[in-house]
Amino acid sequence: MKRRFRISLLAAGTALALAACSSSGGKQETTDTNNAGTADTPRMTVAFITHSGPGDTFWDLVRKGAEDAAKKDNVELQYQADPDGPGQANLVQSAVDKKVDGIAVTLAKPDAMKANVTKAVQAGVPVVALNGGIDAWQAMGVQGYFGQDERIAGRAAGQKLAADGGKKALCVIHEQGNVGLEARCDGAKDTFPNISKIYVTGTDMPGVQAAITSKLQQDKAIDRVLALGAPFALAAVQSVKDASSSAKVATFDTNKELVGAIKSGSVMWAVDQQPYLQGYLAVDSLWLYKTNGNTIGGGQATLTGPAFIDSGNVAAIEQYANNGKR
Amino acid sequence: MTTVTELAAQDDRVASRPLAARLLSRPEVGSLVAAIVIFLLFMAVAAPFRNVANIGTILYGASTIGIMAVPVALLMIGGEFDLSAGVAVTTAGLSGSLLAWNFGLNVWVGVLLSLVLAVAIGAFNGWLLLRTGLPSFLVTLGTFFILQGVNLGVTRLATGNVASADISDMDGFASAHAVFGSEVSLGPVNLKITVLYWVLLTIIAAYVLLRTRIGNWIFAVGGDAAAARAVGVPVRSTKVGLFMAVGFCAWLSGMHLLFQFNTVQSGEGVGKEFIFIIAAVIGGCLLTGGYGSVVGASIGALIFGMTQLGINYAGWNPDWFRTFLGVMLLLATIVNLYVKRRADLR
């Protein structure tokens, strides 16, 4: 009885699978459009060490930029990440132990990173910083910095919220205790004072959505939601619908789905710090230093943002987003 | 042993106790008291909490926890717990999406394949546990890490990104969305379909636990597996079945995740396993097994939902959100413990 049931289940499943191909959507062939040629300089090794948590769409873009630059520059890229400060610092030490030719590192937790980064510089390994630590990198002897000043980016977002006619905004922090995210909200507050913060757990999407919904229900005056990451903006769009609110959603950072949302008008705009560029420039700058002694930025931070993606320029960016690089 | 006690529940030893004591010795009473206190607190301080239309939001927050807290509670009564339950939800959502997307299948095929996978993961947990005799903490901790890595690795292999691709333009999405992600309006209240699943699961699980032979088996294997085996309780199939129930509910939650948001982030779900366990504990389940209640676990989920959103509704300084939540949880469990002790003394 049991066996016959199993067999019929299997047969039904197979028949269903054969008859059940989707006529639309699904996996499409993507072409790699990045054919900038490759360098024939000697092979060098770069350790790329970030504070990314696993499975984050933003850091995926950074990594792709780094990988593309590494391919072009004949660099062997060793990508590593640890969201825990001391753990990330230890990865820097292990890179020095391995005698790599360069280190690209994020300094989101500068106090934890300081000792080991300084040690790496003293050991003669060229180090560049990206994404986080704009106030801290020079003091550690790091050669260059690629990223945006989160406070400046926040200010730009606040200005744009005001220009769009917003009266009261909600800033959604998806990682409690992250200095960069706080700086974004604080920057937005500089130029758009009527903004309040809400903390949500970024690894729990239904929770994020319910929390934003409840806040919109509590405070009907909120007419703008500022998310700090693309997936959270998409959840916020759902929340606005659930709360029958008229609030409009804007965000920091993008991914493929978010670019689609801007195109369809459900998200107003995104502050773009160009994560792909951060990864790319960090690796490329180490290669330039090694082969030609150059330093990009000449001792100053190289800002990769804030740029804006809105309905005006989204069409131009869409094709790159479809390749998973914006 | 426990089966005998259960049968004896009809005889005079219990009938002679006063009604109040009998009520109070139910495992879910502590959580019910806590839920009422928290409800009254937020009714008093948060104006939007009093708005009927917002009930839907609170119930939604509670339901996404409750759907998993119910099978997790059953498993805990059966003497085991599952640390992989949080990421298993993500695995279910991801596998449904990726299978359909990668092979260009109808979305429903992905949904069914993902069901097979989710239940198989549960069965694997149970099988390995019984095969090796290791504590469930270790076995499911192993599965937790394996799934976390597989979620990331497979997603990147299939899509080249760390989130699953948008499948909202594929065949079958609309009907699957209707089943797993729709909502109905009851007057001013918008109820998500997860609330319905949550209530259904609670009723079915409570019935099975309290009114069927399988329920007696669950209490028995959680209380004393060796004694249960001695009186003829099928310990193995009961435990494996409980893990498979967790897998099934992980699938249900994962499908909601997928069809509510169209894509699934591969790093999600970490930490949720503790929320499920905590909801079950608030609801009266003991960490040692053999005691607890499904209804209590659902009330635990409701406490979570009310607290989480009540703080937003009250407009309190969100810096203290986690602290407040922790205090609430401790209070709920202490009330629970106190009520139970008082009741047992009588």
Chain B residues within an 8 Å CB radius of A199: 318-319, 321
Residues A278, A141 share a domain: yes
In a domain, A94, yes or no: yes
Read off the pTM: 0.83
Q: What is the pLDDT of residue B2?
A: 47
Distances (CA, A) of B329 to A200, B67, B301, B305, B322: 18, 19, 11, 12, 10
Asked if A210 lies within 8 A of B305 by C-beta distance, the reply is yes
Distance from C-alpha of A132 to C-alpha of A51, rounded to nearest angstrom: 9
Cα distance from B222 to chain A (closest Cα, Å)? 28
> Range of A144's domain?
2-148+274-295
Residues A246, A209 share a domain: yes
The CATH number assigned to the domain holding A267 equals: 3.40.50.2300
Q: Chain-centre distance of CA B316, in angstroms?
A: 28
User: Which candidate in A214, A222, A323, A325 is best for mutational testing of the B interface (most B CBs within 10 A)?
Assistant: A214
If you ran DSSP here, which 8-state letter would residue B163 be given? B
In a domain, A322, yes or no: no
Residues A210, A74 share a domain: no
Cα distance from A69 to chain B (closest Cα, Å)? 17
Cα distance from A227 to chain B (closest Cα, Å)? 16
Strand-by-strand arrangement of the A269-272 sheet? A195-199, A169-173, A224-227, A248-252, A269-272, A307-310
Residues A74, A218 share a domain: no
CA atoms within 13 A on the CB side of B158: 24
Distances (CA, A) of A289 to A44, A47, A124, A296: 12, 15, 13, 9
Cα distance from B238 to chain A (closest Cα, Å)? 18
Asked if A211 lies within 8 A of B270 by C-beta distance, the reply is no
Distances (CA, A) of A176 to A83, B77, B306: 13, 34, 21
* Cβ-Cβ contacts under 8 Å for A197 (sequence gap 6 or more): A170, A171, A173, A185, B318
Asked if B101 lies within 8 A of A26 by C-beta distance, the reply is yes
- Count up the domains in chain A and report the number: 2
Residues A234, A111 share a domain: no
Distance from C-alpha of B169 to C-alpha of B178, rounded to nearest angstrom: 14
Residues A142, A287 share a domain: yes
CA atoms within 13 A on the CB side of A38: 10
Tell me the mean pLDDT per 10 residues along chain B, length 346.
Answer: 50 63 76 88 88 88 95 96 95 95 93 97 96 94 95 90 88 94 86 95 96 95 93 95 97 94 87 90 85 93 88 77 76 72 68
Residues A212, A290 share a domain: no
A161 in helix, strand or coil? helix
Q: What is the pLDDT of residue A111?
A: 86
Residues A64, A188 share a domain: no
Residues A77, A20 share a domain: yes
If you ran DSSP here, which 8-state letter would residue A41 be given? S
In a domain, A53, yes or no: yes
> Token match 């009714």: residue?
B43
> Token match 């899509």: residue?
B159
Per domain, the residue ranges of chain B are 51-337
Residues A109, A250 share a domain: no
B54 contacts chain A (CB < 8 A):
yes
**Widest distance between CA atoms in chain B:** 67
Q: Is the peptide bond before A306 cis (omega within 30 degrees of 0)?
A: yes
- What is the full per-residue pLDDT of chain A (326 aa) written as tens digits? 456 666 676 666 666 555 677 877 778 765 555 556 788 889 999 999 999 887 778 898 999 999 999 999 999 999 999 888 888 999 999 999 989 999 999 998 888 899 999 999 999 999 999 998 888 999 999 999 999 999 999 999 999 999 989 999 999 999 877 778 999 999 999 999 999 999 888 888 998 999 999 999 989 999 999 999 999 999 999 999 989 899 999 999 988 889 999 999 999 999 999 999 999 999 999 999 999 999 999 889 999 988 999 999 999 898 888 887 88
Topology given in CATH for the domain delimited by B51-337: ABC transporter involved in vitamin B12 uptake, BtuC (1.10.3470)
For residue A240, give the amino acid letter: V
> Token match 């003293």: residue?
A122
Q: What is the pLDDT of residue B29?
A: 81
Distance from C-alpha of B307 to C-alpha of B38, rounded to nearest angstrom: 7
Nearest-5° Cα angle at B311, A226 to A159? 20
Asked if B269 lies within 8 A of A203 by C-beta distance, the reply is yes
Model ipTM over 0.85: no
Q: What is the pLDDT of residue B234?
A: 95
